[in-house]
Amino acid sequence: MEKNEIWKDIKGYEELYQVSSLGRVRSKDKLINSRGNKKRLHRGIILRPKKKKSGYLEVSLYKDKKHKSIQVHRLVAETFIPNPQNKPEVNHKKVVTNDFCDNSIYNLEWCTREENMQHSFKYGNRIVAKSRNSTSSKAVQQYTTDGKLIKKWFCTMDIQRELGIPNSHISACCLGKRKTAGGYKWKYIEKV
């Protein structure tokens, strides 16, 4: 497997930034005005990404005095990895305990939300809540009222966004404070 680093311009930031096939982001060299209307070369630098609580790396890109924070794996995928099926999410193929630092093209693939969740459940890379009282990031199973498994969900907030069922109702059901929420039974997945 060839691992030569290839740099390409970032869409929408072509004059300012580039991303590499190995998951690094850099600002580009540019000429800036100095005293006496002279131009001087300002060398670009490799940006230092910020690690979010979720484990993903993120960089801030500046354009027209505005900044935008973008996840590095998304930049790499959008720049280097074809997406003929127009899948909306990017999956890390190999992840060690929620460490999403390998953002090379060799470790990324386009996927659906369902494929991303299945991969997360299969390999145990689900992001676990940091607090015992935090329920929004616990994985949940959805059942019919007669107990048949319908689907596994990454977290209650995903359910609220997709089905419109309040996450507090789902959490109450999982904790035994309600029998159903949105016409379904819900249970936390204890061990993924």
Residue-wise pLDDT for 11-62, tens only, equals 999 999 999 999 999 999 988 888 877 888 888 999 999 988 777 899 999 9
Q: Do 88 and 25 reside in the same domain of the chain? A: yes
User: What secondary structure letter does DSSP report for 10?
Assistant: P
- 144 shares a domain with 116: no
**For position 97, what pLDDT does the model report?**
52
How confident is the model at residue 116, as a pLDDT? 81
Structural domains in the chain (count): 2
Query: Same domain for 94 and 182?
Result: no
Q: What is the CATH number of the domain that holds 154?
A: 1.10.10.10
- Looking at 96, 123, 150, the residue that finishes a domain is 123
Host domain of residue 70 = 7-123
Share of the chain above pLDDT 70, in %: 85
Do residues 96 and 147 both lie within one domain? no
Task: Judge if 85 and 150 occupy the same domain.
Answer: no
Regarding whether 116 and 24 lie in a shared domain, the answer is yes
The answer to whether residue 43 is domain-embedded is yes
Residue 106 lies in a domain: yes
DSSP assignment string, 75-100: HHHHHHS--TT---EEEESS-BTTBB
If one counts every other C-beta atom within 10 angstroms of the C-beta of residue 133, the result is: 5
Average pLDDT over the chain reads: 84
Whether 99 and 150 map to the same domain: the answer is: no
Contact 136, 128 (CB under 8 A): no
Terminal Cα-to-Cα distance of the chain (whole angstroms) = 32
Residue 132 lies in a domain: no
Question: Are 110 and 151 within one domain?
Answer: no
Picking from 80, 62, 95, the residue whose alpha carbon sits closest to that of residue 23 is: 80
Q: Is the pLDDT of residue 73 over 80?
A: yes
Q: Do residues 95 and 165 both lie within one domain?
A: no
Residue 45 lies in a domain: yes
Using one digit for the tens of pLDDT, what is the confidence trace for 80-110? 999 999 999 999 888 665 567 889 999 999 9
pLDDT tens, position by position, 136-159: 467 899 999 999 998 888 788 888
Note whether 115 and 162 are same-domain residues.
Answer: no
Q: Do 145 and 101 belong to one domain? A: no
